[in-house]
Structure 1
């Protein structure tokens, strides 16, 4: 089971390291490996959330996520996305943006001799709008989960009161909008207020649209089962809701990727190494971990993992919004997620032990 699920990830890791060696020698290999480890450590909560969605999808859409989805993750988010940011921010065409990325200023300077900004500087300057979009998308995901009525709660002392007040319609939108206004007004720099507001609003709109479409088709399918015969629910999910769940997963993966892509520039600005480390190694292992969680039924046994992942998402969303005005070290972002996931896992283990103890009595 382990070899079958993670085997391809190990093969691609070896291939990526070999490619890195031929591209930039031993230094490139080390940087690629560091970026791969960074991506996996920062994205465990992403894998848990992906697994909660993936287990609802048919085998066809699961394969699409693991094939087409990985192409989007590697080339779309880790290579094309940074180039697109440079293209839009500087007015350079994609070829010029790639040339800028591959030929940075000497001695790691932020600007060239003619005063034009480097590739890394342009990406870093675009952080406020990137963080606002990703932060709002992830915050909406967190609020949607935490206010939803659930039979099982992890941090019951806070989750149960939140479920009660969550009956107020559109409360997640109200809270997210309020936080966006506070961020744009008091955290973002004065010249970035409008940019942060627009990017954050687009993040919220994207979540509402993609999530709403998925829920609409899923609900319609369930209703159809009671009124007419036809394709099975699984087949209809593959044909309708499956597509929107796939789209939802891709947007979710993109939102998780923002902080990793930006954080990668603290290690290297080379887009090829970033694509090899974050994309090929990191993204592949995150997807393998997602499949492992689904195949092993881990989320059914360790029921608090989903809660811990969502709390980690909420923390990441707040960190992203705060980072618009004040840089936050990647180690902080990673540790917060790891601590919450680990705490929820240990709580799940204790719950299983108590349940087994009761059964043996």
Structure 2
């Protein structure tokens, strides 16, 4: 199972490390390895959330996410996105931005740092909305009973996630941000993006999915999208891509503390992104989220921690080890709690196989991921 699921990740690792060695015989190999580990540590919670949503997608859109989505994640976000940011900031063309990255890495890094407050505001608000939508929703299973129960109770107030997120953004922009106007606009765009993709998913969801919604615990993402097809599947795919982008912002910026070479960064983060995709598939195949019921909760609390770190980092540097450590710690704690729950209950955990699950697994196998 592990070899079959991760074989393309292993292959990409070998190819990436070989390219890094040829490209930079000095330290390229070590830098790419460190960047890959950084990406996995920062985005592990992303895999858990993706698995929850991917399990509800129709086979066709699962394949699209695991093929086209990988290309977007590896080449789009890890290679092209930094160049676009620098190009927009410095008013340069793509070729000029790439030339700047290769020949003047210090200025390239400086321009990326100048743009970071806006990037962090967008990604932080998108992730914060995702977190708030989850914790303010009623769930059949609760991990942190003492805090999740009161949050679900007050979450009955309509549009409370928007109120809390908007208030947090106003506080950050007013107290910390040097360029409060740009930060405010970027943060609002992050909120609007989340609300828009969520709303479009609901609008185009199939009627039978709506009927099944009451029977399913919400995942904190677009609702009413069980085994989404057609337009609903497309917007769920779009949601996952934006979610991946929001997670990758922190990794892309943090990578500059290790290397300013865009090729090295793309190789390292691309390998890490591939492992996250493979881990997502593994979690779906094994039914891990059904077996360890608190993992989803831990992942969303990790998302909340990441969102808070991104908002704080607008004005104050937050070490990457702290961001990654918080996320990993919360997920490990949720996993341990799930194991203890399963043991004390005296029941053997069973995987809840939803409609079309067998077909989904066959299609996941056929992707070769």
* TM-score, normalised by the number of residues in structure 2: 0.89
Which segments of structure 1 move beyond 4 Å, counting only runs of 4 or more?
233-236
Residue 310 (structure 2) pairs with residue 320 (structure 1):
yes
Q: Distance in 2 between matches of 1:235 and 1:320?
A: 31
Residue 139 (structure 2) pairs with residue 133 (structure 1):
no
For 1:217, the equivalent position in structure 2 comes to 204
CA 1:345–1:98: 2 relative to 1, 3 Å:
same
CA 1:242–1:357: 2 relative to 1, 3 Å:
closer
The alpha-carbon deviation at position 75 of structure 1 amounts to 1.0
The alpha-carbon deviation at position 217 of structure 1 amounts to 2.4
CA 1:358–1:304: 2 relative to 1, 3 Å:
closer
Q: Deviations over 1:121-163 (max 9, x none)?
A: 1001111000000000000000000011111010010000000
C-alpha RMSD of the superposition: 1.8
For 2:177, the equivalent position in structure 1 comes to 188
For 2:29, the equivalent position in structure 1 comes to 29
Q: Deviations over 1:157-211 (max 9, x none)?
A: 000000010000000000000000000000112xx10000000000000000011
Give matches, 1:231-250, under 5 Å: 237-250=228-241
Give matches, 1:90-239, under 5 Å: 90-104=90-104, 110=106, 118-189=107-178, 192-218=179-205, 220-222=207-209, 237-239=228-230
The alpha-carbon deviation at position 216 of structure 1 amounts to 2.6
SS at match of 1:43: helix
The alpha-carbon deviation at position 237 of structure 1 amounts to 2.2
SS at match of 1:25: coil
CA 1:94–1:316: 2 relative to 1, 3 Å:
same
CA 1:315–1:25: 2 relative to 1, 3 Å:
same
For 2:358, the equivalent position in structure 1 comes to none
CA 1:344–1:24: 2 relative to 1, 3 Å:
same
Residue 63 (structure 2) pairs with residue 72 (structure 1):
no
2:202–2:225 Cα contact (<8 Å) kept: no
Q: Distance in 2 between matches of 1:91 and 1:170?
A: 38
For 2:361, the equivalent position in structure 1 comes to none
The alpha-carbon deviation at position 215 of structure 1 amounts to 2.4
For 2:277, the equivalent position in structure 1 comes to 287
Equivalent of residue 294 in structure 2, options 304, 311, 319: 304
* TM-score, normalised by the number of residues in structure 1: 0.90
The alpha-carbon deviation at position 250 of structure 1 amounts to 0.2
Q: What number of residue pairs does the alignment pair up?
A: 338
1:58–1:234 Cα contact (<8 Å) kept: no
Structure 2: gaps of 5 or more residues: 213-223, 350-369
SS at match of 1:266: coil
Q: Distance in 1 between matches of 2:32 and 2:348?
A: 49
**Bigger Rg, structure 1 or 2:** 1
